[in-house]
Structure 1
Amino acid sequence: MTQDLYDIRDPRFLDCVVIYAGMEEIASGCRWTEGPVWFADQDLLLFSDIPNDRIMRWVPGQGTSVFRQASNFANGHTRDRQGRLISCEHGSRRVTRTEADGSTTVLADSFGGKRLNSPNDVIVKSDGSIWFTDPTYGILSDYEGYRAEPEQAARNVFRLDSTSGALASVVDDFTQPNGLCFSPDEKRLYIAESGSSHDENVPSVIRVFDVAGDRLTGGDVFCTIDNGLPDGIRCDMNGNLWSSAEDGVHVFSPDGHCLGKIHVPQRVSNLTFGGPRRNRLFITATTSVYLLYVAATGAQRP
């Protein structure tokens, strides 16, 4: 029932959602869904089923099929400015680009002469630079990758220059950095701290940084997730931040105030906006993917 779907904390939440819209399960039968990315020009959604080592494809009116298997335990995805798929691979501990002919180009697999941990989530800035997080989830066990000892001294957030190929650490003080997204004007970068997954003393927060070219400053706590932890995050065109959580999707105003929640039947890992008008919210949640029409418009252009 739609009245059980929404938890309204602030009247502004009503400008974000279609209060009478219901949620639809569009894919199921996975083990842990992640990394949704919308391809507007092809009218399809790609998402990861990490433990099953595959990337799935969902097409409106056609349903779900396998896009790639094996996927090197791919997790997060995005598109670059040329429309190519950018992927974080746990198994190979690298970030790759899928070319138009289907071949794969390795963009980053090491830093300082040592292997990356397990790239997790990735975004592309309007200047073409690629930003990604590198926690250790893919090497903690053989469930979402291959068990290994980390070679990096920190769990970094990286910036990859698309022209020179230079890789630089822009943040190194997270326990486990996870989802990340830019504000609509790209003046702010939000990064989720998901370290409470293995250490209850780590706060379940999203931090915000000021962006100045290829550098970040600040890093204050933007908001706290009060049920579970933040994983994937996205902004809408009004600057509101949409975050995954244990009980669904939490929506925060640009000043960090919780406007409301969208309750989801399963633990949410990630989300993205899509559809012709970027007003469809695709939610990856444990074994399924859900679709919900919203009043907001996604800031990230697919």
Structure 2
Amino acid sequence: MDLVKTDFQQLDERFKHVNGDEWMQRLHTGCRWTEGPAYFPAGRYLVFSDIPNDRTLRWDETTGHVGVFRQPSNYTNGHTVDRRGRLVSCEQGTRRVTRTEPGGSITVIAAEYRGKRLNSPNDVVEHSDGSIWFTDPSYGIDSDYEGYRAESEIGGCHVYRAAPDGTVAIVADDFSRPNGLAFSADESRLYIADTRQDPSHLRVFDVGESGKLTGGEIFATSDCGGFDGVRVDSEGQVWAAAHDGLHCFAPDGTRIGKLRIPEICSNFTFGGARGNELFITASSSLYTLRVTVNGARYPR
């Protein structure tokens, strides 16, 4: 385990209360491209993807050991943990969203839309009504590097909602490459990253009944590479992964600070017993540190 000096950059007075460990821990390195961290409080472990190596890894908090959780993993990218403690995964290779049941079996949540195969599901979140929301860019079919080269059957890169009854619907169809997404704590808003726009940006939507989205204005733009993973903390601040680390935005969209990471940051999640530990995937490594804010789904 390596230690890296923590670098919080304050850009606005509203960021002055955000701080944390003096040193970040690099828990693991040697991957090709890490992604999709998801923390399981009951088991005190984290799973994350090493996409080009076609494997999902597992870090055990009690031992510090990192081992293979699943290989092959169907080039899995993003993960989330649903409200019943089950792993939900975006499989780029099989072009589907799946759930791992407690006994280890796999349930397919979404694999097609109106009879056409999805592109390559990228990131995923769960709504409290049991619906699963995910982005579907084309990274897994653009080449054989992190999936299988293929033509898009749908002809676009969209954002989807899979209802509890299995119905899959497009909720946003005007993205270039939709990527990370996150609900506000009260689920009234949904933030979605569009990585391939110039500049890359976050958009914000109002969430209505049955998953209807309205709005969609640009919430924030990146000043260092494409936005990727997105999370919201318990104070309503929006965090987004970018090339130089994590960018933190006030609820009004002002960039108020950054947590700089020594590799290109792909994704992150809040975890630990109180939701105030950041787990960050960046290029070839997995990092962690305890901070002074909590994830939106955790009590203070």
- Under a length normalisation based on structure 2, what TM-score does the superposition of the two structures give? 0.95
Of 229, 235, 238, the residue aligned with 1:232 is 229
Is residue 60 of structure 2 the alignment partner of residue 35 of structure 1?
no
What letter matches 2:272 in structure 1? G
Is residue 258 of structure 2 the alignment partner of residue 261 of structure 1?
yes
Runs of 4+ in structure 1 over 6 Å off: 1-4
What letter matches 2:281 in structure 1? T
Mapped contact 1:159–1:167 kept (Cα < 8 A): yes
Residue aligning to 2:72:
70
Deviations 1:140-167 (A, max 9, x none): 11110000011112211000101x1111
Is residue 300 of structure 2 the alignment partner of residue 295 of structure 1?
no
Deviation of 1:16 (Å): 2.4
Residue aligning to 2:47:
46
Flag structure 1 segments of 5+ consecutive residues without an equivalent.
197-201
Is residue 110 of structure 2 the alignment partner of residue 105 of structure 1?
no
User: Partner of 1:173: helix, strand, or coil?
Assistant: coil
Deviation of 1:3 (Å): 7.6
% identical equivalent positions: 55
Mapped contact 2:5–2:22 kept (Cα < 8 A): no
Residue aligning to 2:166:
165
Deviation of 1:2 (Å): 8.2
Deviation of 1:11 (Å): 2.1
Deviations 1:71-120 (A, max 9, x none): 00000000122111100000000000101110101111100111000000
What letter matches 1:209 in structure 2? F
- Under a length normalisation based on structure 1, what TM-score does the superposition of the two structures give? 0.95
Deviation of 1:10 (Å): 1.2
Distance 2:292 2:6 in 1: 18
Is residue 84 of structure 2 the alignment partner of residue 87 of structure 1?
no
Q: Within 5 A, what are the aligned runs for 1:189-268? A: 189-196=190-197, 202-213=198-209, 214-268=211-265
Flag structure 2 segments of 5+ consecutive residues without an equivalent.
none
User: Partner of 1:16: helix, strand, or coil?
Assistant: coil
Residue aligning to 1:139:
141
Residue aligning to 1:199:
none
RMSD: 1.5
After TM superposition, the structure 1 stretch with the greater mean CA deviation from structure 2, 78-87 or 217-226, is: 78-87
Residue aligning to 2:26:
25
Alignment size in residue pairs:
295
Summarize the Cα distance change of 1:152–1:301 in structure 2 as closer, same or farther, 3 Å threshold: farther
After TM superposition, the structure 1 stretch with the greater mean CA deviation from structure 2, 252-261 or 55-64, is: 55-64
Mapped contact 1:21–1:293 kept (Cα < 8 A): no
Summarize the Cα distance change of 1:301–1:141 in structure 2 as closer, same or farther, 3 Å threshold: farther
